[in-house]
Amino acid sequence: MEKLRLENVWKYYRGKEIQAVKDLNLVCEDGECLAFLGPSGCGKTSTLRMIAGLESISEGSIYIGGKRVNDFPPQRRNVAMAFEDYALYPPLTVFENIAFPLQAKALPSKKIKTRVQRVAEVLRIADILDKTPSELSGGQQQRISLARALVKEDVELVLMDEPISHLDTTLKNEIRTEIKRFHVELGNTIVYVTHDQLEAMALGDKIAVMNLGVLQQLGTPEELYDRPTNLFVAGFIGEPPMNFINSTVFSENEKLYLQSSCFRLPLSPQQAKPLKENDIGELVIGIRPGDFEPSRIDAPDFLSFSGDVYAVEPVGDITVTYLSAGEERLLMTVLGTVDLKEGENLVLSFSTEHIHIFDKSSGRAIN
């Protein structure tokens, strides 16, 4: 059952001079975590604020729990919110901060205590309920802010806007895990805004990738990684990012090839079909850094070529290698450490079945 629907939603500023969100359509099902992902200025926060009722909707309709809420003020939308700013009440204890939205509804004190205790245990702050915010670390204060949003069990949506972006890596990983665990245990419907692809991939059942106000792709983390719909999504999802290699298509003996400055790639009939149908000349080949093998592989679906190493970076359990091949600069990742030196010539292999092909002019994936 759908919990949230956006139909042809636009957001303008300064009349229609700035189009922050453009004709956005999507659905979030009950119990899902939908992550909005994109760079600064892509429209994700404007979208969240329209869902919350903090921003007016310029055009289109938003439905929450089956009701059109365009004209509803925030308090009538039955949503909970957590933002980057903790927004805690300094004089109140942790318990009182978390319980505040429940007390505002005049719930029985016993019921309030049960709910606060439950969310505090999940977020591991049950031992600090009698303290005040000034006595706590930034990570603990962020947990309190999240707890205050999650304690309201009867809300339609929990809206989170970059709630952990300012924390250090260790705290960020820890709290992200707890948000995920809370979501799994209680089944809230969450809309989560972030610029961090790791957060989106870890938390989102589905991810809405946005750029310049436009929804680029909506799908599961696996779909976005394995089948990006355009160059933007392909480059934004994945760390290190996908390699992009300029190429042209040509025919020889009734077989299609892609010619780049570093290799000539024969296409399978399945890969060649959309190129023949669309008569596309200039293309971009996408290859994930982890799909390169640092050796020659003699197999029917593998292609080998050479490149020169110009930098090697050991990064924990992987090694990132920067290579120059023809006119291209490429990245390769290998598990563990590798004995490579700058200036060394290296043979690389990759499976021709794992490539991505994009129309250079439109950026759209064509395979």
Model pLDDT for residues 165-183, shown as the tens digit of each residue: 877 888 788 888 888 888 8
Residue 98's φ and ψ, nearest 5 degrees, are -70, -40
Count other C-beta atoms under 10 Å from residue 110's C-beta: 8
Report whether pLDDT(107) > 90.
no
Residue 105 has a pLDDT of 81
- 């190429």: which residue's tokens? 247
Query: pTM of the full predicted structure?
Result: 0.90
Residue 135 has a pLDDT of 92
DSSP for 125-162, written as a single string: -GGGTTS-GGGS-HHHHHHHHHHHHHT-TT-SEEEEES
Least confident interval from 85-99, 122-136, 168-182: 168-182
Query: Which alpha helices (H) appear in 123-258, and where do they start and end?
Result: 138-150, 169-186, 197-203, 221-226, 231-236
Q: Which two tokens stand for residue 24?
A: 């956005």
* Cβ–Cβ under 8 Å, residues 161 and 48: yes
Which domains occur in the chain, in start order? 2-236 (3.40.50.300), 243-359 (2.40.50.140)
Residue 256 has a pLDDT of 87
Question: CA-to-CA distance for 295 and 270, rounded, in angstroms?
Answer: 27
Q: Which are the contacts of 119, defined by CB distance < 8 A and separation ≥ 6?
A: 98, 147, 150, 151, 182
